Amino acid sequence: MYYCCGITDTGSVRDHNEDAFLINKLVLSQASLESNIKAPFIVAVADGVGGEASGEIASHLCLEQLASVKFTKPEELKKKVKNIHRNLRRYGVNHDRSVNMQTTLCALAVDDKKNAYIVNVGDSRLYRFRGDTITQLSTDQSLVQLLYEQGKITREEKRFHAQRNIIFPVMGNLSDDPKIDVTPIEGGIKDGDLIIICSDGLSDYLSANEFETVLSRPVKLTKRLSQLVDTALKNGSSDNLTVVALTVCEV
Protein backbone atom coordinates (compact mmCIF):
# COMPACT_ATOMS: atom_id res chain seq x y z
CA MET A 1 0.00 0.00 0.00
CA TYR A 2 1.14 3.53 -0.77
CA TYR A 3 0.05 6.95 0.46
CA CYS A 4 -0.03 9.72 -2.14
CA CYS A 5 -0.94 13.40 -2.00
CA GLY A 6 -0.70 16.29 -4.39
CA ILE A 7 -1.27 20.02 -4.69
CA THR A 8 -1.43 22.42 -7.63
CA ASP A 9 -1.41 26.20 -7.46
CA THR A 10 -1.96 28.79 -10.18
CA GLY A 11 0.71 30.97 -8.57
CA SER A 12 0.85 34.70 -8.08
CA VAL A 13 1.31 35.87 -11.68
CA ARG A 14 -0.66 33.78 -14.18
CA ASP A 15 -4.44 33.94 -14.45
CA HIS A 16 -5.03 30.24 -15.18
CA ASN A 17 -3.42 26.90 -14.41
CA GLU A 18 -1.81 24.86 -17.21
CA ASP A 19 -0.53 22.24 -14.74
CA ALA A 20 -2.41 19.10 -13.72
CA PHE A 21 -1.70 16.01 -11.64
CA LEU A 22 -2.91 12.42 -11.57
CA ILE A 23 -3.51 10.33 -8.43
CA ASN A 24 -5.59 7.15 -8.26
CA LYS A 25 -7.10 7.73 -11.73
CA LEU A 26 -8.27 11.23 -10.77
CA VAL A 27 -6.94 14.27 -12.66
CA LEU A 28 -6.94 17.66 -10.95
CA SER A 29 -5.89 21.12 -12.10
CA GLN A 30 -7.13 22.84 -8.96
CA ALA A 31 -6.87 22.21 -5.20
CA SER A 32 -5.30 19.17 -3.54
CA LEU A 33 -5.87 15.44 -3.08
CA GLU A 34 -4.85 12.62 -0.72
CA SER A 35 -5.30 8.89 -1.38
CA ASN A 36 -4.11 5.43 -0.39
CA ILE A 37 -3.35 3.40 -3.50
CA LYS A 38 -2.33 -0.15 -4.35
CA ALA A 39 -0.09 -1.42 -7.14
CA PRO A 40 -0.44 -1.32 -10.09
CA PHE A 41 -0.83 2.44 -10.46
CA ILE A 42 0.45 5.55 -12.21
CA VAL A 43 0.84 8.97 -10.57
CA ALA A 44 1.96 11.93 -12.64
CA VAL A 45 2.40 15.65 -13.22
CA ALA A 46 1.85 17.38 -16.56
CA ASP A 47 2.77 20.99 -17.34
CA GLY A 48 1.11 22.60 -20.37
CA VAL A 49 3.74 24.37 -22.43
CA GLY A 50 3.58 28.15 -22.10
CA GLY A 51 3.37 30.06 -25.35
CA GLU A 52 1.40 27.33 -27.10
CA ALA A 53 -2.38 27.14 -27.45
CA SER A 54 -4.47 25.24 -24.90
CA GLY A 55 -1.70 24.09 -22.56
CA GLU A 56 -4.31 23.42 -19.89
CA ILE A 57 -6.23 21.13 -22.26
CA ALA A 58 -3.06 19.30 -23.26
CA SER A 59 -1.99 18.58 -19.67
CA HIS A 60 -5.44 17.48 -18.54
CA LEU A 61 -6.14 15.32 -21.59
CA CYS A 62 -2.70 13.72 -21.38
CA LEU A 63 -3.28 12.63 -17.77
CA GLU A 64 -6.86 11.52 -18.42
CA GLN A 65 -5.56 9.11 -21.04
CA LEU A 66 -2.61 8.04 -18.89
CA ALA A 67 -5.03 7.16 -16.07
CA SER A 68 -6.44 4.25 -18.09
CA VAL A 69 -3.07 2.82 -19.18
CA LYS A 70 -2.31 -0.75 -18.15
CA PHE A 71 1.05 -2.38 -18.81
CA THR A 72 3.10 -5.45 -17.99
CA LYS A 73 6.41 -4.46 -19.59
CA PRO A 74 8.23 -1.11 -19.87
CA GLU A 75 8.21 -1.40 -23.67
CA GLU A 76 4.42 -1.65 -23.57
CA LEU A 77 4.21 1.39 -21.30
CA LYS A 78 6.42 3.41 -23.65
CA LYS A 79 4.28 2.44 -26.64
CA LYS A 80 1.09 3.53 -24.88
CA VAL A 81 2.58 6.88 -23.88
CA LYS A 82 3.57 7.41 -27.51
CA ASN A 83 -0.04 6.71 -28.49
CA ILE A 84 -1.16 9.43 -26.05
CA HIS A 85 1.22 11.86 -27.77
CA ARG A 86 -0.36 11.00 -31.12
CA ASN A 87 -3.84 11.46 -29.68
CA LEU A 88 -2.92 14.91 -28.37
CA ARG A 89 -1.47 15.88 -31.72
CA ARG A 90 -4.61 14.65 -33.49
CA TYR A 91 -6.83 16.61 -31.09
CA GLY A 92 -4.85 19.77 -31.81
CA VAL A 93 -5.11 19.32 -35.57
CA ASN A 94 -8.88 18.86 -35.32
CA HIS A 95 -9.47 21.87 -33.02
CA ASP A 96 -8.30 25.21 -34.42
CA ARG A 97 -7.82 26.86 -31.04
CA SER A 98 -5.67 23.97 -29.82
CA VAL A 99 -3.29 23.53 -32.77
CA ASN A 100 0.13 22.42 -31.49
CA MET A 101 -1.02 22.21 -27.87
CA GLN A 102 1.75 20.57 -25.86
CA THR A 103 2.57 19.34 -22.37
CA THR A 104 5.41 17.84 -20.40
CA LEU A 105 4.84 14.55 -18.62
CA CYS A 106 6.61 13.11 -15.59
CA ALA A 107 5.18 9.99 -13.97
CA LEU A 108 5.84 7.13 -11.58
CA ALA A 109 4.43 3.85 -12.90
CA VAL A 110 4.37 0.80 -10.60
CA ASP A 111 3.32 -2.59 -11.96
CA ASP A 112 1.58 -5.43 -10.13
CA LYS A 113 4.98 -6.82 -9.03
CA LYS A 114 5.91 -3.42 -7.54
CA ASN A 115 8.55 -2.73 -10.17
CA ALA A 116 8.80 1.06 -10.42
CA TYR A 117 9.46 3.09 -13.58
CA ILE A 118 9.99 6.77 -14.29
CA VAL A 119 8.20 8.08 -17.38
CA ASN A 120 9.63 11.40 -18.51
CA VAL A 121 9.03 13.78 -21.41
CA GLY A 122 10.24 17.37 -20.92
CA ASP A 123 11.52 19.12 -17.80
CA SER A 124 9.07 18.28 -15.04
CA ARG A 125 10.97 16.25 -12.47
CA LEU A 126 10.92 13.16 -10.27
CA TYR A 127 13.01 13.13 -7.09
CA ARG A 128 13.65 10.60 -4.32
CA PHE A 129 14.01 11.87 -0.77
CA ARG A 130 15.85 9.26 1.28
CA GLY A 131 17.75 9.68 4.54
CA ASP A 132 17.36 13.48 4.53
CA THR A 133 18.92 13.72 1.04
CA ILE A 134 17.05 14.58 -2.15
CA THR A 135 18.19 13.11 -5.48
CA GLN A 136 16.79 13.88 -8.92
CA LEU A 137 16.05 10.56 -10.64
CA SER A 138 14.60 11.90 -13.89
CA THR A 139 16.74 13.68 -16.51
CA ASP A 140 15.58 17.00 -17.94
CA GLN A 141 15.03 17.01 -21.69
CA SER A 142 16.28 20.57 -22.09
CA LEU A 143 18.99 22.66 -23.66
CA VAL A 144 20.69 23.46 -20.36
CA GLN A 145 20.83 19.75 -19.47
CA LEU A 146 22.52 19.08 -22.80
CA LEU A 147 25.01 21.91 -22.18
CA TYR A 148 25.70 20.49 -18.72
CA GLU A 149 26.29 16.97 -20.08
CA GLN A 150 28.69 18.47 -22.63
CA GLY A 151 30.61 20.16 -19.82
CA LYS A 152 29.84 23.67 -21.06
CA ILE A 153 28.05 24.84 -17.89
CA THR A 154 28.14 23.80 -14.23
CA ARG A 155 25.32 22.30 -12.18
CA GLU A 156 24.80 25.63 -10.42
CA GLU A 157 24.72 27.53 -13.74
CA LYS A 158 21.88 25.26 -14.89
CA ARG A 159 19.54 26.84 -12.31
CA PHE A 160 19.94 30.41 -13.56
CA HIS A 161 20.86 29.98 -17.22
CA ALA A 162 19.07 32.38 -19.59
CA GLN A 163 17.96 29.46 -21.80
CA ARG A 164 16.75 27.17 -19.02
CA ASN A 165 13.17 27.22 -20.36
CA ILE A 166 14.10 25.78 -23.76
CA ILE A 167 12.97 22.15 -23.81
CA PHE A 168 13.03 19.44 -26.45
CA PRO A 169 9.82 18.21 -28.18
CA VAL A 170 7.14 17.17 -25.71
CA MET A 171 3.72 15.50 -25.77
CA GLY A 172 1.53 16.79 -28.60
CA ASN A 173 4.30 18.48 -30.61
CA LEU A 174 3.33 18.73 -34.28
CA SER A 175 6.82 18.94 -35.76
CA ASP A 176 8.71 16.17 -33.96
CA ASP A 177 7.91 13.14 -31.85
CA PRO A 178 9.17 13.41 -28.27
CA LYS A 179 11.81 11.16 -26.76
CA ILE A 180 9.89 9.10 -24.22
CA ASP A 181 12.18 8.00 -21.39
CA VAL A 182 10.99 4.97 -19.42
CA THR A 183 13.59 4.23 -16.76
CA PRO A 184 13.43 1.60 -13.98
CA ILE A 185 14.03 2.67 -10.39
CA GLU A 186 16.55 0.08 -9.25
CA GLY A 187 15.33 -1.65 -6.11
CA GLY A 188 11.90 -0.07 -6.41
CA ILE A 189 10.49 2.16 -3.69
CA LYS A 190 11.71 1.25 -0.21
CA ASP A 191 10.16 1.90 3.19
CA GLY A 192 11.05 5.45 4.18
CA ASP A 193 11.48 6.69 0.60
CA LEU A 194 9.54 9.74 -0.45
CA ILE A 195 8.98 10.19 -4.18
CA ILE A 196 8.41 13.77 -5.33
CA ILE A 197 7.10 14.70 -8.81
CA CYS A 198 6.81 18.38 -9.66
CA SER A 199 6.55 20.96 -12.41
CA ASP A 200 9.35 23.43 -13.10
CA GLY A 201 7.37 26.22 -11.45
CA LEU A 202 8.46 24.53 -8.23
CA SER A 203 11.80 22.89 -9.04
CA ASP A 204 13.30 25.96 -10.75
CA TYR A 205 12.87 28.00 -7.57
CA LEU A 206 14.03 25.59 -4.88
CA SER A 207 17.58 24.53 -4.06
CA ALA A 208 18.34 20.99 -2.91
CA ASN A 209 18.88 22.36 0.59
CA GLU A 210 15.45 24.01 0.59
CA PHE A 211 13.82 20.78 -0.56
CA GLU A 212 15.59 18.84 2.18
CA THR A 213 14.84 21.38 4.92
CA VAL A 214 11.11 21.41 4.19
CA LEU A 215 10.73 17.66 3.61
CA SER A 216 12.57 16.88 6.88
CA ARG A 217 10.09 18.82 9.00
CA PRO A 218 7.99 16.75 11.46
CA VAL A 219 4.61 17.79 10.05
CA LYS A 220 2.02 16.11 7.83
CA LEU A 221 3.12 15.46 4.28
CA THR A 222 0.35 17.67 2.88
CA LYS A 223 1.65 20.53 5.01
CA ARG A 224 5.20 19.98 3.73
CA LEU A 225 4.00 20.14 0.13
CA SER A 226 2.23 23.42 0.86
CA GLN A 227 5.44 24.74 2.41
CA LEU A 228 7.39 23.78 -0.74
CA VAL A 229 4.93 25.77 -2.84
CA ASP A 230 5.07 28.75 -0.46
CA THR A 231 8.89 28.73 -0.49
CA ALA A 232 9.03 28.65 -4.30
CA LEU A 233 6.58 31.57 -4.48
CA LYS A 234 8.66 33.55 -1.98
CA ASN A 235 11.71 32.81 -4.13
CA GLY A 236 10.04 34.47 -7.11
CA SER A 237 8.24 31.70 -9.02
CA SER A 238 6.07 33.27 -11.71
CA ASP A 239 4.72 29.96 -13.04
CA ASN A 240 2.04 27.47 -12.06
CA LEU A 241 3.28 25.12 -9.34
CA THR A 242 2.39 21.44 -8.89
CA VAL A 243 3.85 18.76 -6.65
CA VAL A 244 2.88 15.15 -5.92
CA ALA A 245 4.40 13.01 -3.17
CA LEU A 246 4.24 9.23 -2.64
CA THR A 247 5.51 6.97 0.13
CA VAL A 248 5.03 3.39 1.32
CA CYS A 249 2.45 3.09 4.10
CA GLU A 250 1.40 0.27 6.39
CA VAL A 251 -1.65 -1.75 5.41
User: How confident is the prediction along the chain (251 residues), in pLDDT tens digits per residue?
Assistant: 999 999 999 998 988 999 999 999 999 998 899 999 999 999 999 999 976 679 999 999 999 999 999 999 999 999 999 999 999 999 999 998 999 999 999 999 999 999 999 999 999 999 999 999 999 999 999 888 888 778 888 877 777 777 777 888 999 999 999 999 999 999 899 999 999 999 999 999 999 999 999 999 999 999 999 999 999 999 999 999 999 999 999 65
The predicted model scores a pTM of 0.95
Number of H helices, E strands in the chain: 7, 12
List phi, psi (to 5°) of 248. Answer: -70, 140
10 Cβ contact partners less than 8 Å away, ≥ 6 residues apart: 16, 17, 240
- Residue 89 · residue 182 · CB < 8 Å: no
Give the integer Cα–Cα distance in Å for 73 and 116: 11
Q: Which helix (H) or strand (E) element contains residue 194?
A: strand 194-198
Instruction: Please tell me the distance from the alpha carbon of residue 133 to that of residue 142, in angstroms, as a whole number.
Output: 24
| Structural domains present in the chain | 2-138+168-248 (3.60.40.10)
